[in-house]
Amino acid sequence: MNVFSLAFVGDVEARYPELPWASLDPATLAPDACAAARRFWSHNAFSEHASAIAMAEVVAALGRAQVPPELWRRACAFPAQELVHVELCAGVARRCGGAVGIPFEPGALELPLHPGLLPLERATALVVRVFCLGEAMSLRLLAGNLRATTQPLARAVLMRIVRDEAAHARFAWAYLDWIAPRLSAGERQRLGDLLALDLAALAPLTDVPPDGAPASGLGWMAAARWSAIVARTLDGVLARLARYGICRRSADVASPRDLATG
């Protein structure tokens, strides 16, 4: 088991002086809320770190697949944006009193290789997993967190992240609009078959953080709201994928509502 630490991030406040860092003073927070905020923002930083790595792998897959330059160029900006998100979340965690180490399995940061798929099939499979599902879920959850957040620094950071995540989520459907006319029936079916794995991989994102602590305006929404957004987003994404002919098998996959409450 490895432990994710934010020591590598450096002086975030100097790098992003436009943010209201001084507005967050841990001495003014209730101890429970402060501890929950340290956990929440540290987990957020880890999620953003995993996103940066996943994005970089998808960008490489898009290049190998020789997708149109406008799509590849658009995606090339995303890993650097995810890295900014890591830094900003780390900065908030430090302001709350310090980041906490996040234990993780090294395999959790690896994308499936999808052996046997041709480069373009693999690129499409990764776009479905990372963008259609992962980024759509991130966007909706972060937007919900933003609505529940009153602390100025946490709001400023979430606003910046939500703005970028919206562009990431839009990329999913721009890519599918391009690839859809080129997909054979067999390719659509294989993508649908992979949705079981894709949904299982979403589970860490859909966990209610921070350990179900009540919302305190410091960055996260109430647990019940969180679960409702997970269920509604998964329903919406699966319906939209189905319109492209990418349908999950119903028998062997947990339902979105199972994932949301599991």
Beta carbon of residue 4, minimum distance to Fe ion (angstroms, whole number): 15
Beta carbon of residue 88, minimum distance to Fe ion (angstroms, whole number): 9
> In this chain, which stretch among 60-68, 110-118, 157-165, 205-213 interacts with Fe ion, using CB under 5 A?
157-165
- Degrees (nearest 5) of the Cα angle 168, 171, 172? 100
Contact of 169 with 81, CB cutoff 8 Å: no
Interacting residues with Fe ion between 124 and 153 (CB under 5 A): 135
Q: Is 165 in the site for Fe ion (CB under 5 A)?
A: yes
Is the CB of 79 or the CB of 210 nearer to Fe ion? 79
Q: Is 48 in the site for Fe ion (CB under 5 A)?
A: yes
Look up residue 46 and give its two tokens. 């880890």
- Tell me how far CA of residue 256 lies from CA of 69, 132, 197, 206, in angstroms: 34, 14, 13, 10
Is the CB of 95 or the CB of 168 nearer to Fe ion? 168
Is the CB of 159 or the CB of 254 nearer to Fe ion? 159
Beta carbon of residue 165, minimum distance to Fe ion (angstroms, whole number): 5
Beta carbon of residue 233, minimum distance to Fe ion (angstroms, whole number): 14
Is the CB of 87 or the CB of 121 nearer to Fe ion? 87
Beta carbon of residue 84, minimum distance to Fe ion (angstroms, whole number): 8
Question: Around 148, how many Cα atoms within 13 Å sit in the side-chain half-sphere?
Answer: 18
Binding test (CB under 5 A) with Fe ion, winner from 82, 87, 121, 198: 82
Alpha-carbon distance 37 to 15, whole Å?
22
Closest CA to 38 of 224, 221, 218: 218
Is the CB of 87 or the CB of 187 nearer to Fe ion? 87
Is the CB of 240 or the CB of 257 nearer to Fe ion? 240
Q: Is 87 in the site for Fe ion (CB under 5 A)?
A: no
Binding test (CB under 5 A) with Fe ion, winner from 94, 114, 168, 190: 168
Beta carbon of residue 184, minimum distance to Fe ion (angstroms, whole number): 30
Binding test (CB under 5 A) with Fe ion, winner from 49, 74, 85, 190: 85
Alpha-carbon distance 253 to 103, whole Å?
27
Listed in sequence order, the DSSP H helices in the chain are: 12-15, 31-64, 69-76, 78-95, 119-127, 136-147, 152-179, 185-201, 203-206, 223-243, 256-261
Beta carbon of residue 227, minimum distance to Fe ion (angstroms, whole number): 21
Residues contacting Fe ion: total by CB under 5 A: 7
- Tell me how far CA of residue 103 lies from CA of 2, 43, 49, 259, in angstroms: 6, 10, 14, 22
Alpha-carbon distance 210 to 195, whole Å?
27
Is the CB of 171 or the CB of 226 nearer to Fe ion? 171
Beta carbon of residue 8, minimum distance to Fe ion (angstroms, whole number): 17
For residue 221, the one-letter residue type is: M
- Degrees (nearest 5) of the Cα angle 44, 148, 150? 95
Look up residue 99 and give its two tokens. 């980041």
What is the binding site for Fe ion (CB under 5 A)? 48, 51, 82, 85, 135, 165, 168
